[in-house]
A and B are shown apart, each in its own frame.
Chain A
């Protein structure tokens, strides 16, 4: 058993913790990488001990050993069993009130002579004072030690103290230095500006006096310390040009812009970049295709694309009746999708104050040459805000209107292209003043400037065969779905009622449907011909042992 708990790599003590502390004190705290080297072995040893049902001997510094590589470990001959004093813990942690939480106690002293005010934290209690609430007791001990309790959560606190001590270069046995730590515990950068934010967070989380809010286990501490470099830092202003100097309004706009850009999440779930048709979108081009038998009977002007006269009608601000544009008779899914779009837009307006319904004037189909070269990415390029309304009638009609002719360039795509390729796109395009062709030319020019080998082709003629095929697929898909949805809930097939005036009993229906034998359709015709076997029977194969 001893072998497993002698955590110091070679078991010898070449340097003492004091020596390490002195070095740390001289340089104002150890570097993050040194901290990692020192503490990972200690944590691993402590976790191994806890797995065997012991606790780490982390009360005071007596059991700590430091080897020649400045790695920490224990020098224990006798394993330390957990101590349980739940009653005391409950007494100390008993909340003052259910309504509020006491998170600290301060003593404010005001001198009557000169009016000076002195604020002292009462979180560090004097030695040999009875513990009445979660607090700091000074040194490398915890209040739980004082009340005779020692478990895994206690170890987390002890470990936090050691980490803080070395990271800040403070000797906690010196009361003034300990009080300094407690005073700045929530903002350790006051003591050590170069402290890595993840390490600082770790110290704060581990040295929480209230056990409920402390980190629960050393394993997560180990993982955080091991991977401290991989964890995302908080917003770092110093890395943002122009955010810390210059006139305040300009700084603000820089910071706001950076904050906004952080909101873009460019991954495959971002439908503004990786677009794929869903129930929340409707392809007007596909919906406008008449399902003719032969593609040669299809004329390009029957299909809705962004061309005159359709684009002119839309931009003129007139209300466009979608019934003239879309083929409701061919595409039975249209009313459902349109209703869904309308209700979604209404909900957005109520919840967010603005509708997010957009008409995509054109798509950009492109390849990200820096990542997956062969993948075709389909992103909306120009988004025109539109409003959809439903006018009830014998045949409901759907109306689309455009409040403004200013289309926005897909912000996620614009941000992505700027970040990746430095391509600058305008934020908005007034479609009355500037045509899509212009935008195409601008985009082409920018692409050609960086790589002449890449071309951007404008597709303004619909590929009739493809569009027709898509339209057929979409209708088929809808039919299949609606059929399966009926079949999956057979109970709904029964229309029954036991109301006195309207008796349509269910029992007889269930009996007819499930219990009564009905000769199959197939057999009615097949049986008379049974004796005349078909000429070439296909061979029958039966499965084997499995």
Chain B
């Protein structure tokens, strides 16, 4: 954007504000503008700061109106009476952090944010809507850190958040943080908020940041973003799920007898550039690869029903696409499903989708049970003794015994 464009846009915004709001002057209201300047200094914002108070809005809140050459904070409701000077500094820090985010890196974040929002608003594709939601949640967490930097005290930052969201005049930040801890310990379901996470989660995230770690803790990541589920994937989650699907299919295609023409063709329907030999040298055993998939996907915990259902149908595709392989392919896929922890779901899918005769079903499942029984004991042994090693090591360092043979 050229300087002239920026100036003309800022003028439009400023005129609109002068028309519909009250301008908080730095001379008349040092108690309001002061905190804003202090926050700007702490965050290194060098553009002029101006504060406006909106008319006719009852709920206490603050918002940043973004123009590139000026940081405009719009207050609403009785937020000024509600907060102490330090808390007001925190709120100003939160709003100015939005400004910082959108002006650093040549405004790339702003462009990204607007693109993601525009796409989400325009499309019916759930992935983009979810992406936009997660981006909004993360943006708020970023801005909260600005609040902490501006006021310098965790409890002040937390109490400013709670006061604005509850409207209460007196807050105990320490007890609220304990409340957050309690919640995280008890409930790990992901938030479903659209733009702002629950205040209690924001407080917990802020406490984590104040302790000196940039990354969110495992528990917080889980409640903020949820685990990858086919029912609710954002664009990045799609990539992860895609590679998970690829791993699943590849571990099936390790078997020579499995790589028949229809199966390879179906694999290409999933991944058009699927190249077997490049990705997997023939020497890697099938079983070891199963272990890798199992560990990297962490399928035993945290995979929801929708994802399991999806993976079941992917396996079922490959079990049925070549009718010549039929009972053997079902057994093979079922064994793999058992190894990855959704064997029971897969078996019931097979039962309901394939109209097999009772006798055929019985033979297939008996074979599966025979194949999985020794493997299970071996797996559980590995898990208890060398789990960490197993997680870090690459697939080929583990050599489980394939008692049946014929895998290579």
Q: Which residues on A are within 8 Å of B, measured CB to CB?
A: 498-500, 503, 505-508, 510-511, 514-518, 520-523, 526, 530, 533, 535-537, 539-546
B320 at the interface (CB under 8 A from A): yes
**In the complex the two chains form, what is the Cα distance from A537 to B8 in whole Å?**
10
Main secondary structure of the interface of B (DSSP, over half): helix
Residues of chain B lying within 8 A (CB to CB) of residue A499 = 355
> Nearest Cβ in chain A — how far from B263, in angstroms?
12
Residues of chain B lying within 8 A (CB to CB) of residue A523 = 115, 119
Residue contact B165 to A546, C-beta cutoff 8 Å: yes
Partner pick for A520 among B111, B128, B314, B354, CB 8 A cutoff: B128
Closest chain A residue to B232 by CB distance? A514
Q: Mark B80-111, 1 if CB is under 8 A from A, else 0.
A: 00000000000100110010000000000011
Residue contact B118 to A498, C-beta cutoff 8 Å: no
Residue contact B127 to A517, C-beta cutoff 8 Å: yes
> Nearest Cβ in chain B — how far from A61, in angstroms?
58
Closest chain A residue to B306 by CB distance? A514
B331 at the interface (CB under 8 A from A): no
Partner pick for B233 among A498, A514, A530, CB 8 A cutoff: A514
Residue contact A545 to B270, C-beta cutoff 8 Å: no
> Nearest Cβ in chain A — how far from B247, in angstroms?
13
B172 at the interface (CB under 8 A from A): no
Residue contact A544 to B95, C-beta cutoff 8 Å: yes
Partner pick for B239 among A500, A507, A517, A545, CB 8 A cutoff: A517
> Nearest Cβ in chain B — how far from A527, in angstroms?
9
Residues of chain A lying within 8 A (CB to CB) of residue B139 = 542
Residue contact B98 to A536, C-beta cutoff 8 Å: no
Closest chain A residue to B262 by CB distance? A503
Residues of chain B lying within 8 A (CB to CB) of residue A536 = 8-9, 12
Please give 14 more A-B residue pairs, beta carbons under 8 A apart, in addition to A541-B65, A545-B147: A506-B316, A507-B317, A510-B310, A510-B314, A514-B126, A514-B241, A516-B242, A520-B122, A537-B9, A542-B64, A543-B63, A544-B94, A545-B91, A546-B61
Residue contact B323 to A500, C-beta cutoff 8 Å: yes
Partner pick for A498 among B123, B126, B238, B316, CB 8 A cutoff: B316
Closest chain B residue to A505 by CB distance? B317
Closest chain B residue to A527 by CB distance? B115
Residues of chain B lying within 8 A (CB to CB) of residue A505 = 266, 313, 316-317, 320-321
B71 at the interface (CB under 8 A from A): no
Which 7 pairs from chain A and chain B are nearest by CB? A544-B62, A507-B317, A507-B313, A507-B314, A505-B317, A540-B66, A545-B164
Residues of chain B lying within 8 A (CB to CB) of residue A500 = 323
B5 at the interface (CB under 8 A from A): yes
Residue contact B118 to A522, C-beta cutoff 8 Å: yes
Residues of chain A lying within 8 A (CB to CB) of residue B20 = none
Closest chain A residue to B202 by CB distance? A545
**In the complex the two chains form, what is the Cα distance from A514 to B239 in whole Å?**
11
Residues of chain A lying within 8 A (CB to CB) of residue B110 = 540
5 chain-A/chain-B pairs, Cβ below 8 angstroms: A507-B315, A511-B270, A537-B1, A544-B164, A546-B196
Q: Mark B208-246, 1 if CB is under 8 A from A, else 0.
A: 000000000000000000000011010100110110010
> Nearest Cβ in chain A — how far from B352, in angstroms?
10
Whether A520 touches B94, Cβ cut-off 8 Å, given contacts A505-B316, A515-B241, A539-B13, is no
Partner pick for A544 among B13, B63, B128, CB 8 A cutoff: B63
Whether A545 touches B61, Cβ cut-off 8 Å, given contacts A510-B310, A511-B270, A522-B122, is yes
Query: Would you list which residues of chain B between 3 and 37 have a CB under 8 Å from chain A?
Result: 5, 8-9, 12-13, 16
Residues of chain A lying within 8 A (CB to CB) of residue B318 = 507
B187 at the interface (CB under 8 A from A): no
Residue contact A521 to B316, C-beta cutoff 8 Å: no
**In the complex the two chains form, what is the Cα distance from A356 to B110 in whole Å?**
64
Residue contact A508 to B269, C-beta cutoff 8 Å: yes
B344 at the interface (CB under 8 A from A): no
> Nearest Cβ in chain B — how far from A515, in angstroms?
5
Whether A517 touches B63, Cβ cut-off 8 Å, given contacts A511-B270, A544-B91, is no
Total number of B residues with any Cβ neighbor in A under 8 Å: 67
Residue contact A539 to B67, C-beta cutoff 8 Å: yes
Residue contact B314 to A539, C-beta cutoff 8 Å: no
**In the complex the two chains form, what is the Cα distance from A510 to B230 in whole Å?**
9
**In the complex the two chains form, what is the Cα distance from A540 to B64 in whole Å?**
8
> Nearest Cβ in chain A — how far from B32, in angstroms?
15
**In the complex the two chains form, what is the Cα distance from A472 to B241 in whole Å?**
45
Residue contact B310 to A518, C-beta cutoff 8 Å: no
Partner pick for A508 among B66, B196, B270, CB 8 A cutoff: B270
Closest chain A residue to B115 by CB distance? A523
> Nearest Cβ in chain A — how far from B157, in angstroms?
10
Residues of chain A lying within 8 A (CB to CB) of residue B125 = 518, 520
Residue contact B64 to A541, C-beta cutoff 8 Å: yes
Residue contact B238 to A517, C-beta cutoff 8 Å: yes
**In the complex the two chains form, what is the Cα distance from A500 to B356 in whole Å?**
11
> Nearest Cβ in chain B — how far from A427, in angstroms?
57
Residues of chain A lying within 8 A (CB to CB) of residue B245 = 511, 515
B394 at the interface (CB under 8 A from A): no
Whether A535 touches B61, Cβ cut-off 8 Å, given contacts A514-B230, A544-B164, is no
Residues of chain A lying within 8 A (CB to CB) of residue B314 = 507-508, 510-511
Residue contact A533 to B160, C-beta cutoff 8 Å: no
Residues of chain A lying within 8 A (CB to CB) of residue B64 = 541-542, 544
Residue contact A515 to B230, C-beta cutoff 8 Å: yes
> Nearest Cβ in chain A — how far from B355, in angstroms?
7
Partner pick for A503 among B62, B270, B321, B355, CB 8 A cutoff: B321
Query: Would you list which residues of chain B between 255 and 280 have a CB under 8 Å from chain A?
Result: 266, 269-270
Residue contact A510 to B61, C-beta cutoff 8 Å: no
B353 at the interface (CB under 8 A from A): yes
Q: Mark B113-141, 1 if CB is under 8 A from A, else 0.
A: 01100110011011110000000000110
Residue contact B317 to A515, C-beta cutoff 8 Å: no
B154 at the interface (CB under 8 A from A): no
B46 at the interface (CB under 8 A from A): no
**In the complex the two chains form, what is the Cα distance from A533 to B8 in whole Å?**
13
**In the complex the two chains form, what is the Cα distance from A146 to B393 in whole Å?**
81
Residue contact B353 to A498, C-beta cutoff 8 Å: yes
**In the complex the two chains form, what is the Cα distance from A500 to B355 in whole Å?**
9
B161 at the interface (CB under 8 A from A): yes
Residue contact A526 to B313, C-beta cutoff 8 Å: no
Q: Mark B133-177, 1 if CB is under 8 A from A, else 0.
A: 000000110000001000000000000110011000000000000
**In the complex the two chains form, what is the Cα distance from A516 to B231 in whole Å?**
13
B195 at the interface (CB under 8 A from A): yes
Residue contact B233 to A515, C-beta cutoff 8 Å: yes
Residue contact B63 to A521, C-beta cutoff 8 Å: no
> Nearest Cβ in chain B — how far from A117, in angstroms?
72
Residues of chain A lying within 8 A (CB to CB) of residue B62 = 544-545
Residues of chain A lying within 8 A (CB to CB) of residue B63 = 541-544
> Nearest Cβ in chain B — how far from A443, in angstroms?
52
